[in-house]
Amino acid sequence: MKKKYKILVTGGAGMIGSNLVKKLVHNGYNVFVADNLWRGKKEYLSLDKKSMIIPDNNFYQVDLTNYKKCLQVTKQMDIVIHLADVVAGINYVFSNESSLYRTNTLINTNTLKACIKNKVKKYIYAGTACSYPKSKQSKINPPPFKEDEVYPAEPESAYGWSKLMGEYEAELAYNSGLINIEILRLHNVYGSPAELDPSISQVIPALCRKVIESQNKELVVWGSGRQKRAFVHVDDVVSGFVKAINKKTKFNGVIQLGPNYSTSIAEIAQRIVFISKKNISIKFDKSKPEGDFDRMANNSKAKNILKWSPTISIDKGLKKVFDWCELELKKKQ
């Protein structure tokens, strides 16, 4: 792929987006960002207090539920990496299912339609492992999922449905010859910068914050702690997107990014407590939602087609996030 290509990253001020933008700028691309800053932050893209990693003119603060805005921001783009969507922790997702489904569906359908209209050369969509069927994720130690096991569809949440419909519509457009696409279906991505507001943060930053702020020597974890996820560090995910940009072959169906093993939330909590060097006991609040029980990726497609495998161990990744959270919370004091 030519280095002078214009790349738009929607949701580029978010956790995955801001890391990806930094990598693409470093690789010499002309990078643009479209984000309404619902959860992303402009400061995630700053180099220092004065300047941003991309020129100010390359940052569009827009709501992508609006088709006209989608048309404006995708104009003359060669590649669009579409990451913008409402993403949040489990409590937010299950308390706002109707509005979340509608918002994500509008963002995804409008962005795709605008990319087709503006003849974007490649549209890269981020799907989620939350789209796998609920019944398959309710077993203990299920075999690692293959990509096509997402159908017959039965995601547990409106979030999982909205993201799956985004995949489905992109595939329809590709199959109708309207646009070239890639779809990466991500397992549980963690890293920094991360949202620390407890009402919308995800499990790892939420647990780091609770441990850092713990006064009462007790960490309360939502659910039984037995629920497991295939956690993948954001740096590994960014390398997957870079490979998808550079992929020369045509779309070979969805490719999932994630490890072929899962880690329980109880284990994550223990590791974070260990990193903190605090003497904290862990309690499980079983009255709170915990989502699907277990899932992990059969990542042979990523290995064979993208030459991608996860490289960052959970211990190294958790330490990086914990240190970042500690610094961030200190700044707020």
Ligand X SMILES: NC(=O)c1ccc[n+]([C@@H]2O[C@H](COP(=O)([O-])OP(=O)(O)OC[C@H]3O[C@@H](n4cnc5c(N)ncnc54)[C@H](O)[C@@H]3O)[C@@H](O)[C@H]2O)c1
Choose, by CB under 6 A, the member of 7, 8, 13, 269 that binds ligand X.
13
CB of 20 to ligand X, least distance (A): 9
280/297 with CB nearer ligand X: 297
CB of 100 to ligand X, least distance (A): 10
Task: Give the span between the Cα atoms of 165 and 61, in whole angstroms.
Answer: 25
- The tokens for 72 are 């404006």
Element (H, E) at 79: strand 79-82
258 scored as a contact of ligand X (CB under 6 A):
no
Chain CA centroid to CA 116, Å? 24
Q: Which span (11-19, 24-32, 94-102, 283-291) binds ligand X, by CB under 6 A?
A: 11-19
User: Binding residues for ligand X, how many (CB under 6 A)?
Assistant: 27
Element (H, E) at 242: helix 234-246
Q: Which span (29-37, 135-143, 305-313, 314-322) binds ligand X, by CB under 6 A?
A: 29-37
One character per residue 101-130, x = contact with ligand X (rule: CB under 6 A): ------x------------------x-x--
Q: Which span (47-55, 77-85, 262-270, 314-322) binds ligand X, by CB under 6 A?
A: 77-85
228-229/263-264 β-pairing? antiparallel
Assess contact for 227 and 186: CB atoms under 8 A: no
Task: Give the span between the Cα atoms of 321 and 282, in whole angstroms.
Answer: 20
- The tokens for 82 are 């579409």
227 scored as a contact of ligand X (CB under 6 A):
no
Assess contact for 266 and 282: CB atoms under 8 A: yes
Q: Which span (81-89, 116-124, 143-151, 293-301) binds ligand X, by CB under 6 A?
A: 81-89
Choose, by CB under 6 A, the member of 22, 29, 33, 35 that binds ligand X.
35
CB of 303 to ligand X, least distance (A): 19
Crossing angle of helices 158-175 and 97-117, rounded to 10°: 20
310 scored as a contact of ligand X (CB under 6 A):
no
79-82/6-10 β-pairing? parallel
Q: Which residue bears the tokens 């987006």?
A: 17
Q: Which residues bind ligand X (CB under 6 A)?
A: 11, 13-17, 35-40, 63-65, 83-87, 107, 126, 128, 163, 186, 188-189
